[in-house]
């Protein structure tokens, strides 16, 4: 029996015992009442009698109630027992069903296991058969490979044997040819000995015949050999004098016809004697850092330092994976040099924040101006010019960072002056004046960003303004044929300029076109109303326009960006796309005292 059946049986037994006890107690009370003596009927109004009667009736009612309760309890116990028997029967039926289900599952599992075992046996047999087939194929391939290798080795051995046989045959033929050659050489040597003896006899006969011939000539001519020699020398001397006169005439004619060639030689000699080096133009500078940690300080919190640096200097700062180095990119070399000095000072100082960047930028700007002034003084000393107006010296210093077609303009001026001076010396002219003309001919390039027009005419106006001689002014304005050259100084300035710029390796066209495109981009944006500063960055792929916040509002900034982009699309040709960024920034500064 299960645990539930045992509990139900115990509960039924307890209920039966309780009912039996109650029934027995009721029977005892009833029996005691029935055997008790019947008292004499008291008076109807006896209170004691009435009370006893009521008590007895109440006891009987209680007994009847108890009997009824016992009967109900017995019925309930019988019902519970019936329910327990029913549940026990159901439990037995469920247990029987569970046992039958378990036997069925066990039989099914046994059948499934037998089926799996059979399939496993079949799979194992198939795998074994496949393994045997694979092994058989591998063995066959191995055997075929070994057979092929053996066959190839056999063929190789046959080829080697054939080559050895052929070599032995060739060696035998060569030995036979050498033997034949030895025989021919031996015969040739004997023949040569015979010929040598014949030649010796022939030489003796010729010497004897020549002696007889000389004696016959002296007898016929009536002159000795020494007298004939003197007569021949006199004849040859007259012929030589005549040929020398003809040669002198030809040399003079050749000199007249090669005057132009001589002039070219003078120019080439001047160029060779002034072999100044050329610095190739670049749009990037590399600054080495003490450690890679400095890159994070340069970038700053949320990139504020690098943004402030690029906004202040106009130089694009490139920070990549290059160890301990950053790149500064800008098409304007002066601006790039100022940015490089600014960043170098910031790295050495260690304090990098927007306000410090502006301070160091001003210091670097003044330092670059001093370097320009020093470069102008050095160039004047090298050329040998001392009396030059200070404003012209300032403009010359700005050309230290200016290039034309990849050629440094200040070095080009020095080189042109030297070439002009050498050509003037060769032509017996005044070298000082011509060197001055050549040295100042490109002075207008220092103002091409500020004044409209050709640099030759701009330079002539500047030179005339600061008191240069009229020949110098004319040479400057005529060196590109805007004005026809009228003096020898102008012609030599033009020639020396062409020699300096036209020699191989001096200039490059593509980089100059690139720089002009970037300058034109900045000019387009700078010509708009309200624009304060313009920077072309990212190799011309981005242009940043700084506007005055009082003159341009937010809507005007959007219109300005669209207008600049539209004008660039219409006027320029460029690869890819150009991003136009308009920056409108308000700054308020107050001093606490």
Q: Are residues 358 and 476 in the same domain?
A: no
Contact (CB, 8 A) for 392 and 380 = no
* CATH value at residue 337: 3.30.1370.10
* CATH value at residue 411: 1.10.3210.10
Q: Are residues 307 and 351 in the same domain?
A: yes
**Residue 317 included in any domain:** yes
Detail the DSSP E strand segments found in 315-379. Answer: 316-318, 325-329
Give the pLDDT score at 405. Answer: 65
Sign, CA dihedral 374-379-381-387, equals: negative
Given the structure tokens 């010359």, which residue do they identify? 396
The percentage of residues in the chain with a pLDDT greater than 90, rounded to a whole number, is 1
Q: Are residues 499 and 548 in the same domain?
A: no
Average pLDDT for residues 368-395, to the nearest whole number?
86
Question: Domain containing 411: what range?
Answer: 406-507
* CATH value at residue 530: 3.30.70.1350
**Residue 252 included in any domain:** no
Model confidence at 135, in pLDDT bands (50, 70, 90)?
Answer: confident
Q: Are residues 33 and 119 in the same domain?
A: yes
Q: Are residues 288 and 374 in the same domain?
A: yes
- Cα–Cα distance between 113 and 126 in angstroms, integer? 19
Give the pLDDT score at 229. Answer: 72
**Residue 223 included in any domain:** no
pLDDT at residue 276 tops 50: no
Domain boundary, last residue among 192, 213, 234: 213
Q: Are residues 109 and 167 in the same domain?
A: yes
**Residue 258 included in any domain:** no
Give the pLDDT score at 278. Answer: 43
Between vectors from CA 530 to CA 527 and to CA 534, what angle results, nearest 5°?
Answer: 55
3-state secondary structure of 529: coil
**Residue 254 included in any domain:** no
Model confidence at 30, in pLDDT bands (50, 70, 90)?
Answer: low
Helix/strand/coil (H, E, C) string of 380-391? Answer: HHHHCCCCCCHH
pLDDT at residue 544 tops 50: yes
Domain boundary, last residue among 474, 492, 507: 507
Q: Are residues 19 and 168 in the same domain?
A: yes
Given the structure tokens 């052929």, which residue do they identify? 166
**Residue 45 included in any domain:** yes
pLDDT at residue 268 tops 70: no
Contact (CB, 8 A) for 405 and 509 = yes
Domain boundary, last residue among 191, 213, 235: 213
Q: Are residues 380 and 467 in the same domain?
A: no
- Cα–Cα distance between 23 and 11 in angstroms, integer? 19
Detail the DSSP E strand segments found in 363-498. Answer: 403-404, 407-408
Q: Are residues 181 and 71 in the same domain?
A: yes
Model confidence at 503, in pLDDT bands (50, 70, 90)?
Answer: low
Q: Are residues 431 and 390 in the same domain?
A: no
Query: Considering its fold, how many domains does the chain have in total?
Result: 4
Q: Are residues 426 and 570 in the same domain?
A: no
Q: Are residues 69 and 97 in the same domain?
A: yes
- Cα–Cα distance between 469 and 474 in angstroms, integer? 9
Q: Within 10 Å of residue 377's Cβ, how many Cβ atoms?
A: 14
Give the pLDDT score at 264. Answer: 57
- Cα–Cα distance between 255 and 62 in angstroms, integer? 172
pLDDT at residue 486 tops 60: yes
**Residue 232 included in any domain:** no
Give the pLDDT score at 39. Answer: 47
**Residue 432 included in any domain:** yes
């Amino acid at each position: 029996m299960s645990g539930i059946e045992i509990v139900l049986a115990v509960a039924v037994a307890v209920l039966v015992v309780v009912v039996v006890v109650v029934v027995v107690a009721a029977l005892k009370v009833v029996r005691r009442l029935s055997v008790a003596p019947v008292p004499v009927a008291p008076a109807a109004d006896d209170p004691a009698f009435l009370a006893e009667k009521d008590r007895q009736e109440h006891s009987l009612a209680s007994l009847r109630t108890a009997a009824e309760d016992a009967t109900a309890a017995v019925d309930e116990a019988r019902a519970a027992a019936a329910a327990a028997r029913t549940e026990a029967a159901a439990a037995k039926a469920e247990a029987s069903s569970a046992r039958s289900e378990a036997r069925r599952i066990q039989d099914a599992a046994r059948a499934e296991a037998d089926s799996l075992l059979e399939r496993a046996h079949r799979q194992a047999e198939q795998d074994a058969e496949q393994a045997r087939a694979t092994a058989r194929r591998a063995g066959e391939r191995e055997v075929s490979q070994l057979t092929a290798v053996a066959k190839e080795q056999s063929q190789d051995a046959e080829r080697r044997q054939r080559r050895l046989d052929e070599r032995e045959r060739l060696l035998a033929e060569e030995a036979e040819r050498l033997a034949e050659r030895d025989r021919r050489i031996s015969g040739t040597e004997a023949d040569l000995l015979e010929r040598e003896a014949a030649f010796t006899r022939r030489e003796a006969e010729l010497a004897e015949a020549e002696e007889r011939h000389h004696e016959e000539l002296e007898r016929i001519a009536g002159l000795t050999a020494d007298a004939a020699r003197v007569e021949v020398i006199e004849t040859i001397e007259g012929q030589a004098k005549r040929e020398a006169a003809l040669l002198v005439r030809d040399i003079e004619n050749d000199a007249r016809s090669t005057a132009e060639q001589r002039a070219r030689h003078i120019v080439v000699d001047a160029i060779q004697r002034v072999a100044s080096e050329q610095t190739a133009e670049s749009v990037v500078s590399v600054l080495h850092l003490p450690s890679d940690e400095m890159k994070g300080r340069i970038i700053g919190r949320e990139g504020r330092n690098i943004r402030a640096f690029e906004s202040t200097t106009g130089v694009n700062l490139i920070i990549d994976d290059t160890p301990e180095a950053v790149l500064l990119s800008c098409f304007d070399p002066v601006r790039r040099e100022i940015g490089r000095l600014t960043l170098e000072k910031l790295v050495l100082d260690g304090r990098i924040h927007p306000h410090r960047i502006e301070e160091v930028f001003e210091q670097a700007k003044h330092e670059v101006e001093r370097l320009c002034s020093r470069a102008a003084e050095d160039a004047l000393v090298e050329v040998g010019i001392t009396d030059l107006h200070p404003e012209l010296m300032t403009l010359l210093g700005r050309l230290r960072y200016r290039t034309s077609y990849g050629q440094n303009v200040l070095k080009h001026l020095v080189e042109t002056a030297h070439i002009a001076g050498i050509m003037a010396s060769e032509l017996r002219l005044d070298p000082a004046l011509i060197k001055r003309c050549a040295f100042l001919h490109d002075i207008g390039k220092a103002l091409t960003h500020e004044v409209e027009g050709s640099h030759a005419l701009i330079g002539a106006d500047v030179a005339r303004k600061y008191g240069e001689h009229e020949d110098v002014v004319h040479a400057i304005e005529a060196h590109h044929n805007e004005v026809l050259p009228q003096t020898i100084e102008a012609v030599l300035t033009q020639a020396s300029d062409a020699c300096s710029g036209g020699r191989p390796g001096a200039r490059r066209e593509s980089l100059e076109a690139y720089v002009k495109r970037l300058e034109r981009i900045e000019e387009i944006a700078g010509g708009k109303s309200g624009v304060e500063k313009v920077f072309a960055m990212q190799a011309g792929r981005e242009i940043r326009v700084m506007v005055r916040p009082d003159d341009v509002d937010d809507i005007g900034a959007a219109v300005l960006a669209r207008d600049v982009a539209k004008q660039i699309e219409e006027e320029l040709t460029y690869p890819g796309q150009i991003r136009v960024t308009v920056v409108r920034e308000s700054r308020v500064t107050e001093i606490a005292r």
